[in-house]
Structure 1
Amino acid sequence: MLAADAATLLARPVCGMTWGWVGTRGTWATPAAEASLDRMAEHAVTWTALAYSALQATAFSTEIPFDQEPTVTDDEIVWAIRAAHARGMRVCLKPVVNVADGTWRAFIGFFDWDVPNEPSWTQWFEAYRAFILHAARIAEAEGCEMLCIGCEMVRADAQEAHWRRLIADVREVYSGPITYNCDKYQEDRVTWWDAVDVISSSGYYPIEQFHEQLDRIEPVVRASGKPFFFMEAGCPSREGSPDLPNDWSLPGAPSGAEQLRYYRTMFEACRSRDWVRGLMLWDWPADLYAVADATANDDYCPYGKPAGHYMAQQYSAWNEEAR
């Protein structure tokens, strides 16, 4: 995939939403999942990241049993891809590794060099390679428009040689554009952006910092010559969350107004920069709550909330401007 090809793909904005997280077996390919995708499609969503996780036991484990529960099955993944395509959405397949004991994946890590009789990056990347290549083969067979090869792997980011080998292996089985979803504040720290086709990151920036952080990210994107979009972004509908949008456990009462306030700032900032090619907002569950329960829901999903209506308006306008 040439950078020019990826740029052509993203000539129209990514008006996106992450769907189905965490990909628990049995929650995809159901009537509830069908209804959830229908509701999402009604919000001018033209891209979706189908995100699911495989679990390793601890941050120091070197086995990733992605074919076991609770991870969704291959049949469920194929179902979701086809269901999204049937609704006119482009698909970024997003396999993610999580840690079963609750440690954030950013802390997965080993000695910088391989040490005998100790778990190593070489062992871990061997397991991770099998996981990602399996997803890449599905993405190729089902015509996914993009593949995300990792998400917020902060300690692993420094393993440049391992990532370059993985990307080369992925290109042997997947012909579409490849992206990596770095964590917030890491856009100018990843040293191997030249190996992927699209730069993406998690844009959970405090509401007062959004323009400042875009100023920091812009030189990285300009220098790379690659398209950029936020693979994750958003804010819970909760009091206080605009100041800490990455904290899903922040105490506070439900507040659609606070989520809307964040969405207004986020969209204004991103749409004012021609190099930001869109947003893949976080997130839309496979088992969607009833619209009557929206005011009491304090999570990231904007369905039935003021932010959902605003998002649909902004996505419609963004797409129209790109025609």
Structure 2
Amino acid sequence: MRPFISIIFSVFLFTPLLSWAQNLNGVEKVNGVEKINGVSFVATNQTLNSSDLNPVKDINANWITVMPFGFIRPNSAEVLYNSNYQWKGETVAGIKQTIRLAHQQQLKVMLKPHVWMRNQWIGDLSFSTEEQWLIFENSYTNYILEFAKVAEELNVGIFAIGVELKKSAILRPDFWRELSDKVRTVYSGKITYAANWDNYNNVSFWDKLDYIGIDAYFPVATAKTPSHDAFYAGWFSHYNAIKKFSYSQQKKVIFTEFGYRNIDYTGKEPWNQAINSTFNSIAQVNAYSAIFSRFWGESWFLGGFLWKWFPQHAKSGGINNNRFTPQNKPVEKAIKAFYTLTPPK
């Protein structure tokens, strides 16, 4: 990086740190629970070793999410998982290995099974017949309980019973209430559900869970390169709504996913992976610093898991990569700086 650019970023990172640090007194733990400074750790088809988690420790993260993907084929309702054709890191054996390595590194773990469909967002998943719904729900229950047992066996701290299954959560709430009860019979830790940012307040079964989980891709800015203050202001209505909802449910909030790409207009549609725009590291840094400034000092907010982090750190990200990962980009230093301000206890 050229010297003058480095100076710009140093000033850029330090200014929001000053204001944010003033609000952090005594909030490293909330009711005895440390702030979650997490990363969403991507599975691989390679064999991991503990050194693959060193870069996670280097940014002072204290939690990782591991994500065993399930799949639904086109024109099918059945959830498939733990298959020979998927990456070994997503299988039961691979997930267990990753959890064990994380614990060796004193990293806590959230286990968050995802269902994936080709050419369709899983939140739009719906069925026209009761028979199809039951095929989905029975296979999904088997999938979730399989990994809930893994979570119990390996002393996982948090287990998510679902991710962004928007229509299912709205149309079939009784299924989710029953599923949460079934998970409780095999897993003794904390449970949550990862709601999409636009419908966490439409989930009717938070009373069955320990935490409100939100995949926090809220639209917060429309400019090409918003300042930290512009991003911060853009959170105002969302922040107030989330805080009010947290108090109404008497549940603390986790951002089960959050993140921004290093592109122009990164705050306009943060969820949109298809946008192909100009590289913009400053916008990404500002977006991250603002979300930390807004939320990490709040007692009702437990922390979150950035999206996303790859095991082969040296080969991941970089300034010529405009995907979500912050690895080897200027924003990685910003994340480390903020995570250092709320150290693991």
Rounded to whole Å, the distance in 2 between the matches of 1:262 and 1:107 is 28
* Partner SS state of residue 144, structure 2: helix
Aligned partners of 1:241 and 1:247 also within 8 Å: no
Alignment of 1:214-233 (within 5 A): 214-233=239-258
Question: What TM-score results when the alignment is normalised by the length of structure 1?
Answer: 0.87
Please say which of residues 258-267 and 174-183 is displaced more in the overlay. 258-267
Rounded to whole Å, the distance in 2 between the matches of 1:139 and 1:202 is 21
**C-alpha displacement of 1:8:** 5.0
1:45 aligns with 2:69: no
1:18 aligns with 2:40: yes
Alignment of 1:1-323 (within 5 A): 8=31, 11-20=33-42, 23=43, 26-27=45-46, 29-30=47-48, 34-58=50-74, 61-68=76-83, 69-71=85-87, 72-99=90-117, 101-111=118-128, 114=130, 119-158=131-170, 159-208=172-221, 209-290=234-315, 294-319=318-343
Q: How many equivalent residue pairs? A: 300
Aligned partners of 1:207 and 1:265 also within 8 Å: no
Structure 1, residues 105-129: CA drift from partner, whole Å, max 9, x if none? Answer: 1111124x72xxxx43222110000
Please say which of residues 210-219 and 42-51 is displaced more in the overlay. 210-219
Once superposed, what is the RMSD of the aligned Cα atoms?
A: 1.9
Structure 1, residues 232-286: CA drift from partner, whole Å, max 9, x if none? Answer: 0010112222222111221112222121011111111113533121121111023
| Amino acid paired to 2:243 | E
Rounded to whole Å, the distance in 1 between the matches of 2:237 and 2:185 is 39
Q: Which runs of 5+ in 2 are unaligned?
A: 1-29, 222-233
Rounded to whole Å, the distance in 2 between the matches of 1:74 and 1:147 is 15
**C-alpha displacement of 1:289:** 4.7
Q: Which runs of 5+ in 1 are unaligned?
A: 1-6
Aligned partners of 2:195 and 2:214 also within 8 Å: yes
Larger Rg: 2
| Amino acid paired to 1:179 | T
| Amino acid paired to 1:198 | Y
* Partner SS state of residue 325, structure 2: coil
**C-alpha displacement of 1:290:** 3.0
Rounded to whole Å, the distance in 2 between the matches of 1:289 and 1:166 is 40
Question: What TM-score results when the alignment is normalised by the length of structure 2?
Answer: 0.82
* Partner SS state of residue 293, structure 2: helix
